[in-house]
Amino acid sequence: MMKNVDKRGPKHRSVRIKRPTFILVVAVSLDGKITNGKKEGTEWTSKEDQKFFRGELDRADAVILGRKTFEAIPRPLTPRNRIVFSHTKTFSHSAECKNVQVFGGTSATLLLLLKKMHWNRVVIAGGTSIYEWFLKNKLVDELYLTLEPVVLGSGKPLINEANITENWTLASTRKLNKKGTLLLHYSK
Is the residue at 141 inside a domain? yes
pLDDT per position as a tens digit, 88-141 = 766 555 555 667 888 888 999 999 999 999 999 999 999 999 999 999 999 999
- How many domains are there within the chain? 1
CA distance 34 to 57: 18
Is the residue at 71 inside a domain? yes
Is the residue at 2 inside a domain? no
Q: Is the pLDDT of residue 2 over 50?
A: no
pTM score: 0.85
Is the residue at 176 inside a domain? yes
Is the residue at 89 inside a domain? yes
Is the residue at 74 inside a domain? yes
**Domain with 178 in it:** 21-187
Q: What are 172's strand-pairing partners?
A: 185
pLDDT per position as a tens digit, 21-43 = 999 999 999 999 999 988 777 78
Is the residue at 6 inside a domain? no
For residue 47, the domain's CATH number is 3.40.430.10
Is the residue at 10 inside a domain? no
